[in-house]
Structure formats: C-alpha cells, structure tokens
A and B are shown apart, each in its own frame.
Chain A
Amino acid sequence: MPTSVYNYPEIIGAAMSRPSSFFGRFILKRTLTLASLLFFLSLFLGACGASGTPHTLTVYAAASLTDAFTEIGGAFEAEHPAVTVVFNFGGSQNLRTQIEQGAPADVFASANVKEMDALVAQNHVAPDAPRVFLTNQLVVILPEDNPADITSLEDLRKPDLKLVLAAEEVPAGRYARLVLDNLNSMFGADYKDSVLANVVSNEDNIRQAVTKVQLGEADASIVYVSDAVAAPELQRIEIPSEVNVIAEYPIAPLSNSSNSELADQFIAYILSPAGQATLAKWGFTPVDP
C-alpha cells in the first residue's frame, strides 16, 4: 500500500498506528480514554468559568493600550465583582475589520479617529458615541546597548540602519510617517526617504515593533511614548513637540452590544480620575473631562 503523506494528520497517524511499535499500541489504546478525559475536563473548566461570572464585558482595544487597559480592567473588576472584562488587543485596523465582520465586542478603543469613523459610518457605533479619552505622542526607541550608536533624530538616516516601523495601515505607522514628514523641515527634503530606506520590516502592530527593538534585532523604532514607558529598559530620543504628532484615541460602546449598560460604566470608569490616573501612569496624556 502506498504511504499516504500528503497531510499532517495522516503523517502523525502513521506514526501512531504502526502496530509494531510499543508507542503505537500504547497510543491506540489510550487515545480514546485521553480524548474523552480532555473533553470532560474542558466541560468542567468551562462550567467553573461560567458559573462565577454572569457578565462578561468584551473590550477591543488598540495594542498600545495593552498594559494600561489590563490594569484598568483589574480595577474595574474589583469594583464590579460579578463582571469579567475580556480584552482583545491588536492593531486598530485589524480590530475594526473584526468588528465589521461581526465580532462580538462591547467596547472599542481605537488608536486613531479614522477606524472609529469607519465604524460610525457603518452604524456599528452611534454617531455621537465616540469620545476621545487620551492623547499619545511618538518617541524614538533604541535597544539598551544602542548597537547602531544613534544619538539624534538625524542619525536615523545613517545608511545600513535596521529600522522597524508599524505598517502604514497601522495607526502608529501612519503617525510615524507623519512625524518623518514634519522632520523634513528640519533636516532637508530627502530626510524621510532616506529614513524609510532603512526600514527592514513593517510590523502588523506597534507592540511587535517594540519587541523587535527589545530583542535587539532592530536598531530603532518610532513608537508611542506609552510604549516606551512600558519598556523602561530601552533608550529614548524625544521628538520635539513642534514636529510631533498628537494621536487622539476615541472610545465608544458598540451599537449591537448586549451589555450596553456595562459598556457605558466601563467607559465612564476610563474617563474618571482613577482611570485617567492609570492611563497617565502608563505614559498617556489624559484629557480634560
């Protein structure tokens, strides 16, 4: 009989069903037992998880909010013992696509107004619902040991740098390119192009770019100030405010949320002094209520 090797399950199956091997016989006898055990275990765990939490609030939030929102979520759960807050962090443009495709979100916090506007235009969010709850700025980050010896913004154009940015589709990536546009006025019209020529990867979300710098694989990246605060071991080069970009983060409940009351409470908490203080701690600029 020809050996069937055109897909993985059959290949693994072949290993397990070889009657001559002790391993094969063992697996054959135990697989069913193990599978049913796992099945009941998962049922049991599911039941445990569900019984204590009648309310789950699902929050889709920009990747840059990961640390701040995780902390705020914990504080919110402490105030509302019956509530579990579940987060989905990712590039705002990805989250928007997921919501458009019917993802069951209750709250959306975006890193730019554009993705929120798109959801308003498609009636996923009520027109008057979005509120700007913080602003963020950009900063250049370098690995701890600064292998490329970058000391100024102008150094970003040095040839053979390994620069990692968020992709242009990601809010942070678009802001970074705006900053480079602004810096053209300081360093000459070809500055942006020579910096972009150093880009070795356009990452899918801003946290991936931070990780590449933390691992020392990239020489520099342009990220949010809040990302730099979350990675204190990294070196920074500040971007002067006259050429920096102020990113406005809007937040809103989704129109078809089944937890709209809870969603409103969560947003109110974000805008409260306690919520804003947490955001400030993670490097965001709070807004006036």
Chain B
Amino acid sequence: MSQQNKPFFHRRLAPLTEWLFVLPSLLLLALLALPVLALLWRAGSEGMLSLIAQPSALSALRLSLLTSTVSMLITIVTGTPLAFVLARRKFTGKAFLELVIDLPIVLPPSVAGIALLIAFGRQGVFGSWLSSIGLTLPFTTTAVVLAQTFVSAPLFVRAARIGFAQIEHQIVEAAYVEGSNEWQLFRYLMFPLAGRAVLSGAILAWTRAIGEFGATILFAGNLEGVTQTMPLAIYLGLERSLGIALALSTVLVFVSFLLLLVTRRLENHKDDSPNF
C-alpha cells in the first residue's frame, strides 16, 4: 500500500514535524504522570504502605467503600429509569432538564456542599420538613452518601442515556411491531443492549463517589468512622501523619486505576452482543 492511501494517523510525518507533536505531548505526559509516579515511589520506598493497617486509615477505607457502594446502588436504581425516559421520550423542557441533571458534573464541589447544606441542613429550606419526619442529615453517614450521589449520579445518567439512545431505531420498532410493551422493551431489549454503557457509567460514578471531597466536608463534616472518608482522611491526615496520607493515596490511585481500566475495556469491546 502506498503511503498516500494509509489513514492520516498511520502515516509517518516528516522528522521535524514529528517532534513538533512529540515534544509538547511529552511535556503534558510528564505533568500528568510524574506526580502519581512520585507518590507511589515515595509511599513504596519508605515502607509507608504498612500504615494502611492503622485504625484511622482502615476506618476511612471501610467508610469510603460502604458509602460509595450504597451511593452507586441508589444511582443505578433511580438513574436507570431516568436515563431510559430521557432516551425514549420527547417533552417540553427536556433540554433544560438535561442541563439541570448535568450541572453537578461541572459545579465546584464546594458549591455542591453549600447547596446541599442550604437545602437539606437542619436550618435549610427543607430542613424543618425533614426534621418533622425525624431526619437530621448534616454530620451523618447518610449525608456522605447524598453528597457522593449528588456529584456522581449525573455521570451515570449521561452514560446510560447515551447507551439507550444509541440502540438502532429499527430494532425498537421491530419489537413494537411484535407487540412488546414498554416494560418488555426495557427488560428484554434495551437494557441488555445498553448494558455495557450502563455498567461503565456505574463504575465511573462509583469512582467519582470514592473521590468525593468538597461536598462531603461541607455537608457531612469530618468525624472518624462516621463521615471521614478516604479523601478527607488524606487531607486532614497530612498534618498528623504524611505516612497515612500517602498510604491512603496509594490505595485510591490503585482503585481508581483499576476501575478506569475496567471502564475502558467495557467501552472498547468490539463485540456488542447483548451478553449482560
């Protein structure tokens, strides 16, 4: 095959032009990779990983896993129907609604925290109603879950919605012609077909929930074993013991890397057969 016929990105560039691309890329790569590598190297070389066995580190780890998993489950149970409706229906104000759902993705976490406090705090807009049914949210583990869901659920809804929307119209229409109702359509056709998108969205949301910091510290406060998740323990532990902070950071790096890897594999899978 002659060079001209190859796809653009497979063509070799002239040496000088090539460096024009490689050098800036290397700079950015260094910025992105070096801090994480340095963190891992320092944590490994000074044997700080053993500090993960400290009670305060373990309780942060346990709390993070618990809250992020509960948050992910809530997100799947409530987010899948929402994504399905958004992908299937057209209604007035839908575009606006989608913007509202996406907003937490770009909101600074501190804004999210203040908003949650103003809404669901004891003195918040809905606070007196909540306390009339016996609920006080701030400074509780529930508040941690709410903060995590607030920032992570939009990622899931977006992923699932795109997954549902990408299903070929002909398939859906064929199912209608065969007499399937909306539930059967969801259960036997669309959910299996979009399964991969739904799952990768769920993992992405989980990763985001584990990393949640700003909204948690503002809305849920910081108390070991109750609201002090890993990111909070890292931030506040920095003053007490760099070792514990490094050990927890290493765990977070590995967990996040692993989850991203899984998401990647799900997305790049060539075989799109409904095997979920």
Contact = CB atoms under 8 A, between A and B. Distances in A.
B233 to A, nearest CB: 11
Given A5-B159, A169-B239, A199-B223, A204 B217 contact: yes
Given A2-B267, A201-B222, A11 B139 contact: no
B117 A202 contact: no
Contacts of B260: 6
Contact of B105 (A12, A215, A218): A12
Contact of A202 (B121, B222, B267): B222
A8 B221 contact: no
A4 B239 contact: no
Contacts of A147: 122
B34 interface: no
Contacts of A93: 239
B137 to A, nearest CB: 9
A207 interface: no
Given A15-B102, A215-B123, A216-B123, A3 B235 contact: no
A164 B204 CA distance: 33
Contact of B236 (A164, A169, A212): A169
B10 interface: no
B275 interface: no
Contact of A3 (B162, B221, B226, B264): B162
A200 B139 contact: yes
Interface string B99-111: 0001001100000
Contact of B139 (A15, A97, A201): A201
Nearest to B122: A217
Contacts of B263: 5-6
Nearest to A199: B223
Nearest to A200: B139
A2 B166 CA distance: 9
Contact of B267 (A4, A169, A212): A4
A3 B263 CA distance: 11
A94 interface: yes
Nearest to B217: A204
Interface in B244-271: 260, 263-264, 267-269
A162 interface: yes
Contacts of B201: 5
A203 interface: yes
B155 A11 contact: yes
Interface string B219-243: 0111100110000000110111000
A167 interface: yes
Contacts of B122: 147, 216-217
A97 B239 contact: yes
Contact of B158 (A5, A97, A202, A218): A5
Contacts of A12: 105-106
B200 interface: yes
A43 interface: no
6 contacts: A3-B163, A162-B139, A204-B217, A212-B221, A217-B139, A218-B139
Interface of A: 2-6, 8, 11-12, 14-15, 93-94, 97, 147, 162, 164, 167, 169, 199-204, 212, 215-218
Interface of B: 102, 105-106, 117, 121-123, 138-139, 155, 158-159, 162-163, 166, 196-197, 200-201, 204, 217, 220-223, 226-227, 235-236, 238-240, 260, 263-264, 267-269
Given A2-B267, A6-B260, A14-B162, 9 more contacts: A2-B196, A3-B166, A6-B267, A11-B158, A97-B239, A200-B221, A201-B220, A203-B222, A216-B123
